[in-house]
C-alpha cells in the first residue's frame, strides 16, 4: 500500500532534490506543508520534521477526471519527507492501491500505474 525509502540526506536536502525530480518528470508541486510548523502554530509539538508535497501532472489528472469526476477525492498525489527513528524517509501511498480501493476501472488502473512509476522514479532520485 505504501512505498517508502530511507535517505542519508537531511529532510531539507531530500525535499529540494524531490522538488527537482518532480519537475524533471513533468509534474509540479501544488503545495508543500510543513507539518511540524503547522502543528506548532496550533500549540502541538511534533519532535520530528515532516513535509508533505502535493504533486500533480495535469495531463494525468485530466485522464483521471475524464474517466470519473468523483475521483477528484484521490487528487493530487502526496509525497512525504519525514524523520523517523533518526533517519530521513521519503514515501507515498501507492496510486495503484488507492485507486483500486475506489474504482475497478481499467482506464484508471492504467493511469495509476503510469503515475506510480513516475512518482517512484522521483522518490528514488531524491533519496
Sheet architecture: strand order including 50-56: 2-7, 87-93, 77-84, 50-56, 28-34
- pLDDT number for residue 62: 95
Whether this prediction's pTM lies above 0.75 is answered by yes
Cβ-Cβ contacts under 8 Å for 30 (sequence gap 6 or more)? 54, 55, 56, 76
Grid coordinates representing 40 are 506548532
Average pLDDT over the chain, rounded to an integer: 96
State how far the Cα of 40 lies from the Cα of 90, in Å rounded to an integer.
22
Q: How confident is the model at residue 59 (pLDDT cuts 50, 70, 90)?
A: very high
Give the domains, in start order, of the chain with CATH numbers: 2-126 (3.30.310.70)
Amino acid at each position: 500500500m505504501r512505498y517508502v525509502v530511507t535517505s542519508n540526506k537531511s529532510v531539507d536536502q531530500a525535499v529540494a532534490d524531490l522538488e527537482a525530480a518532480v519537475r524533471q518528470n513533468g509534474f509540479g508541486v501544488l503545495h508543500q506543508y510543513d507539518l511540524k510548523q503547522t502543528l506548532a502554530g496550533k500549540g502541538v509539538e511534533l519532535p520530528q520534521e515532516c513535509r508533505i508535497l502535493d504533486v500533480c501532472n495535469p495531463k494525468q489528472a485530466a485522464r483521471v477526471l475524464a474517466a470519473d469526476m468523483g475521483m477528484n477525492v484521490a487528487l493530487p498525489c502526496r509525497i512525504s519527507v519525514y524523520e523517523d527513528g533518526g533517519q530521513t524517509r521519503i514515501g507515498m501511498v501507492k496510486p495503484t492501491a488507492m485507486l483500486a480501493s475506489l474504482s475497478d476501472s481499467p482506464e484508471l488502473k492504467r493511469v495509476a500505474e503510469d503515475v506510480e512509476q513516475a512518482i517512484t522514479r522521483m522518490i528514488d532520485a531524491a533519496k
